[in-house]
Chains A and B, each alone.
Chain A
Amino acid sequence: MHIHKFEQFWIKLSFVLIAFFIATVVYGFVAMDLKVIGDHATIDPQNLADTKFGNPGVYEATDNSKAEYEVYVTAFQFAYNPGTAQPIVVPANTRITFYVTSPDVLHGFDVAGTNLNTMAIPGQVAKFTTIFPEVREYGIVCNEYCGPAHHVMEGKINVVPKSEFDKSNLVE
C-alpha cells in the first residue's frame, strides 16, 4: 500500500491529538476530581415514599469522611422537591453529595452555567459530590424534555456562608 509521506505525517499527528484529548480527560479525573456519574443504585420509582426520597431535602451525612451534607432531590413533572417551591439551601466550601431521581419520566438536573449536570432517570439514583466555592444563587434547569410543560420546570440553589447555614432546616 502506498501512503504519501505527508499523509503518514498527518496520521501520526492525528494519533498525538487523540492521545492528548484522552490525557486531558484523565488529568481532569485524577488531578482535578472532575468525575462523571456512575452506577450507584436502582430504586423502585413507584415506591419512593419508603426511601429518603419520600422525605427529600438536606440531610446531615451519615458518613462524613466523604461529605458533610447529603441532598435528596426528586425531579418530577414539572418541579423539583426541594428546589422549586423552596430553594435548596447549602453552605459554601463544604462537601455536599446530591442524590437525584425521578418518579415519572426522564428529567434533567442542570445547575446552569456549571458542570453539575445529571439525568434524573426513573429507577436509577444519580449520585455526585461537589463543593460550592462562592456564596450565590444558582438556577436549576430541567434540560431533558419531560412533557408539555417542560419549559416551566426550574429550581434554585442558595449557597450561604458556612457561618450562616441554619441546621434547624435539615431533614431529620
Chain B
Amino acid sequence: MTFLHKYPKAAKVAKANFIVAFIALAIGGFFGFVQALHRTDVFRGFFNSGEYYTLLTGHGVLLALIFTTFFIAGLFVWGVTRSLEREPENMTFTWSWFWLMTIGLVMATVAILGGLVPDSSIRAAVLYTFYPPLQAHPLFYIGLALVLIGSWMAGADWFWSYRKWRADNPGDRIPILTFMALFTMLMWYVCTIGLALEVVGLLIPWSLGWVTEIEPLLPRTLFWFFGHAVVYFWLLPAYYVWYAILPKLSGGRLFSDSMTRIVFVIFLLLSTPVGYHHQYADAGISVGFKFYAMATTLLLLLPSLITLFTVVASMEHGARQRGGKGYLKWIGKLPWDSPAFVGCALAGIMFAAGGFSGMINASMNINLLIHNTLWVPGHFHLTVGTAVALTFMAITYWLLPQLTGRKLKHKTMALIQPYAWFLGMTLMSNAMHRAGLAGVPRRTAEPQYSGFDFEPIFGTMAEMNWQIAIGGTILTISLILFLWVVVASWLAGEKSDKPVDDHIPKPLSGVEHTPAILDNMKLWFTLALVLVILAYSFPLWEMVADGIFEPGALPRPS
C-alpha cells in the first residue's frame, strides 16, 4: 500500500499539479538555455534581441511563478492528505482551484508567447516583475490574478481538511507535515495582499484602459511587498522536504520537532516586512524604512542557520545509523548513490553558497555595488534555481512512485542528474556573480557596450561568458535527464504495491517536547500582520496621499 492506493483522489490531484509543473519546467528551462547562449554572444541564431525579453519573461513566469506554485500545490496535497489521513473534503472544490490556476496560467502564457508572433498586439514582454509603465496585454494580468485566486483556494482547501481533522482529534498536536504546509500558506496570505492590490487594484484597470496614467513607484512597492516573501513561498516547501523527508532518506530521523516549528513561525513573521531590500536603490522610500527592512532581512538568517544545523544534524544521525564514524568521515556513509538524497543534499550545499551572496544583497550600502547586476540572478539561481528546483526534482524521484504506484526507471540517469545540475550551476553561477561585480547588468540581451569595456576583478569576461554558456548547457542536459526519467517512470515503470519505502520515522526530539503556543496560528498570523503594517503603512500612505495614480506616467508598449 502506498499513497496512491490509500488516497486515490488526492493522488490524482497531486499528479495533475505535477504534470503542469513539469511542462512549465520544460518550456521555461529551454528558454533559459537560449538566454545563456544569447547574452554571452555564443549563439544568437534562435531569436533576435528584441524577442529575448519575451523569452526572459517566459523563463521567469513559467519557472518562478508556475513551476513552483503547481509543484508546491502537489507537494502539499500529498503532505496534508497523508499526515491528516483524509482525502480532500470536496473534490469539486479541489478540482476547481486546480483548473482556475491552469486557466490563468494558459492566459498569461498566451499573452507572453504572443510576443514571438510578428506584429501581434497580444504581448507581455514585461518580465516576471512587470513594472509599469511598461504595459502588457490585459490577458497577462488577468491570468496571473486567476493563478493567485486559485492558490488562495488551494490553501483554503488544506485549512478545510485541517478543521475537519481538528473536530475529530481535539487534543492532538498538528502533524508536522500539515503544520509546515499551513504556516507556509499563512505567509502566502499575508504577502499576496500586496500582489492582489497591485494586479487587481491597479494593473488590470490600467491595462484595460479604464485609467491612463499610473504612478510607477506604488505598484513597484506593492510588488516587492509580495516579491520577497514569494521566495520564501518557494523555499519553505524545500525546507518541508529537508525537514520531513531528507532525514529519512539519509537513514535517520528529524533532529528536533520544536526547532522545525520555530523556524516556520519565524518565517511567517519576518518574510513580508523585508520587501524594501529590493528597493535600496529606489528614490521615494526613506532610508529609515530601508534600514528596518534590512534588519528583518538579516534576522531571517536565523531560521535558515537553524535549518542548516537541524538538517546537517539529522543527516549525521542518519549516517551514524548506517555505521558512520568520526568527525567528518560519517559524510562518506551517506547514501550518495540515491538520486533523491543526492539532489536534496547538493541543493542544500548550494543554498549555503546562495545564502552568503544573499547577505551581500541584504546589506543596504554594500548592495549598491551589485544591485541589478548579473550577481543577482547568479544569487537566485543558487537559491530558487537550485535549493528549490533541485530539491523539487530530487524529491520527485521519491514522490512519483507513491503517486503513480510505479517504480522509478533509469536510476543511473536519475543519479547523474543532480550531480550534473550541481556542476552546471557551479560554472554558471560563479561566473554570474563575478560578472555582476564588474557591473554587467542582468536582464539584458546584449550586455556588450560600444563605449567601454567591463573590467573584471577576478578572471576575464570571455572566460565568464564561456562558463555561463557551458554551465547553462549542462543544466539543460540535466533537465532533459530529469524529464526523461519522470516520463519513462510515469508511463512504463513497474507497477508495485510498495514502489518505494515511504515510511517516515518519528523525530529524535518529538512533538511532546514542543511548546503548544507554537501551534497557535491566530497569534502568529496577527503578529505577522502587525509587522507588515509597521513596515508598509506609512510609506504606502505617502505614495497614495497625493492621489493613487499621481504623479502619473503614461503607459508604454512592452
Contacts and interface: CB of A to CB of B under 8 A. Distances in A.
Contact of A147 (B305, B371, B442, B558): B558
Interface size class of B (residues with CB under 8 A): 35 or more
A39 B443 contact: no
B449 A45 contact: no
A24 interface: yes
A74 interface: no
A46 B554 contact: yes
B447 interface: yes
A5 interface: no
A147 B282 contact: no
Interface in A94-132: 101, 103-106, 108, 110-119, 121-127
B451 A154 contact: yes
A143 B440 CA distance: 8
- Among A10, A25, A103, the most chain B Cβ lie within 10 Å of the Cβ of A25
Contact of B365 (A3, A35, A127, A146): A35
Interface string B400-442: 0000000000000000000000000000000000000111111
B364 A36 contact: yes
B85 interface: no
Contact of A39 (B284, B305, B513): B284
Interface in B351-377: 359, 362-369, 371-373
A139 B306 contact: no
A146 B49 CA distance: 13
> Interface residue tally of chain A, by bracket?
35 or more
B379 to A, nearest CB: 15
A123 B306 CA distance: 42
Given A10-B305, A10-B309, A28-B366, A108 B372 contact: yes
B451 to A, nearest CB: 5
Contact of B439 (A34, A112, A127): A112
B439 A42 contact: no
A106 B216 contact: yes
A85 to B, nearest CB: 11
Interface in A45-100: 45-46, 77
Given A46-B552, A148-B125, A38 B287 contact: yes
A105 B290 CA distance: 23
A141 interface: yes
Contacts of B514: 1
B49 A151 contact: yes
Contact of B220 (A106, A115, A117): A106
B454 A112 contact: yes
A68 B365 CA distance: 24
Contact of B556 (A1, A28, A77, A125): A77
Contact of B366 (A25, A35, A46, A104): A25
Contacts of A4: 255-256, 313, 509
Contacts of B302: 11, 14-15, 18
A44 interface: yes
Interface string A123-160: 11111000000000111011111111111101110000
A44 B213 CA distance: 12
A12 to B, nearest CB: 11
A42 B544 CA distance: 12
A142 B441 CA distance: 7
Nearest to B374: A143
A112 B283 contact: no
Interface string B507-525: 0010001110000000000
Interface stretch (B127-135, B335-343, B468-476): B127-135
B501 interface: no
Nearest to A42: B551
A117 B368 contact: yes
Interface stretch (B158-166, B240-248, B291-299): B291-299
B284 A124 contact: yes
A35 B133 CA distance: 28
Contacts of A105: 131-134, 216, 553, 556
Interface of B: 49-50, 53, 56, 125, 127, 131-134, 215-217, 220, 255-256, 258-259, 279-287, 290, 294-295, 298-299, 301-302, 305-306, 309-310, 313, 359, 362-369, 371-373, 437-447, 449-455, 509, 513-515, 542, 546, 551-554, 556-558
Given A147-B556, A147-B558, 16 more contacts: A1-B258, A21-B362, A36-B290, A36-B365, A42-B284, A45-B551, A104-B133, A105-B132, A112-B439, A112-B440, A116-B368, A118-B281, A139-B451, A141-B439, A143-B443, A145-B56
Q: Give the 3 A-B CB pairs with smallest separation, nearest first.
A: A112-B439, A139-B452, A143-B441
